Each structure stands twice: as C-alpha cells, then as structure tokens.
Amino acid sequence: MKFACTEIPSPLGTIVCLSHDTGVCALDFIERRALVEARLARRFDAVSISKGDGSADVVDALAHYFAGELDALNGVAVDAGGTPFQQRVWAALRRIPAGQTASYGQLAARLGSPNAARAVGLANGRNPVAIIVPCHRVIGTDGSLTGYAGGIERKRWLLAHERAARPAADDASLSLPLF
C-alpha cells in the first residue's frame, strides 16, 4: 500500500499525516512518526511511504481548524482501520462537537455498552488519527484531563482552543454533548 506523507506545521508542533486514496490513515505528532509507521506496517502487508502533498485537503482543514473554524475537520475522510468496536468508538468521538467533552463512561453508555468504559479508553488510546478523530475530547469522570498520546499539555491546549473559538452564546462549561 502506498501512502503520501505530509508534514504539517501547527501551533502544537509538526504533525505527520499519512494518507492514501481512501483517506487519512494516520495523523500524529512528528516525535511519534516511527510508531505511526510501525502501526501502518502491521496493518498493511507492504507499506511504501513517499513524501508528498497527497493530503492537501487535510492541510487546509487543519489550517482552518487552528484558525478557529472548528468544524473544518468534520468532512475529512478517515481510514483508521481498527476492530469493529474501535471503529464504533472512533465514530462516536467524531460526533462529540468541538468545545465539548465526554467521559469514558459516558461514551461507553452512548455506545450501548455502559460497562465498557475501560474498553472505550483502550480504543481511545489506539486512535491512529489524532485531532481529526478527537480523542482529546475524552476526559475523566471527575473532569480531569487523562492520558493523551500527544501529551497532556497538547490536550489542554486543544480543549482551550476549542472552547475559546466557540461562539459566546454557546460558552458553557465542558460537558457531554447531546449527540
């Protein structure tokens, strides 16, 4: 499988995007590039990565997102792979609106598996498409910021960015959306 690799500057550091004709397969921070490539190699039999601009739409969408257009990532095609359960979790993550959060337990309940909070947490941690599949929007039941592969400071920044860019009339505290 051939992938285009694009390095994208962002306020959080350089982001690496690996995509092919069906969408973004991996998006992560540059210091995690070796892990991202190893995961792709496990997912696909043969991986060929070339530097390219195969992700121009993703570059534009991320630029708009970081400029405050929080819904700019909604239409980006994603091919994250994963198990059927992981795919359900990642789809549910994409339905959490920017500026809002959910706990692992709330997300598990929304998926119809109220006792699966730990499984939701594991799926969240295996999300290969950071920011676009917004795993940063999942927090602890007590409202605490829990693990984020890109680091808690980046998670804090993303959540603050999303809250700051929300319209003032919708500036409630972070909470589970009605999706």
Question: Who wins on pLDDT, 48 or 71?
Answer: 71
Does 174 have pLDDT greater than 50? no
The closest of 30, 98, 93, 16 to 58, measured between CA atoms, is 16
The chain-wide mean pLDDT, for the chain, equals: 87
**pLDDT band, very low/low/confident/very high, at 54 (cuts 50, 70, 90):** low
Interval 4-30: pLDDT, tens: 899 999 999 999 999 988 899 999 999
Helices and strands: H and E segment counts in the chain: 6, 6
* Contact status, residue 117 vs residue 104, Cβ threshold 8 Å: yes
pLDDT of residue 93: 96
Active site residues: 135
Interval 100-143: pLDDT, tens: 999 999 999 999 999 999 999 999 999 999 999 999 999 988 88
pLDDT of residue 52: 72
Structural domains in the chain, CATH included, are 2-73 (3.30.160), 84-170 (1.10.10.10)
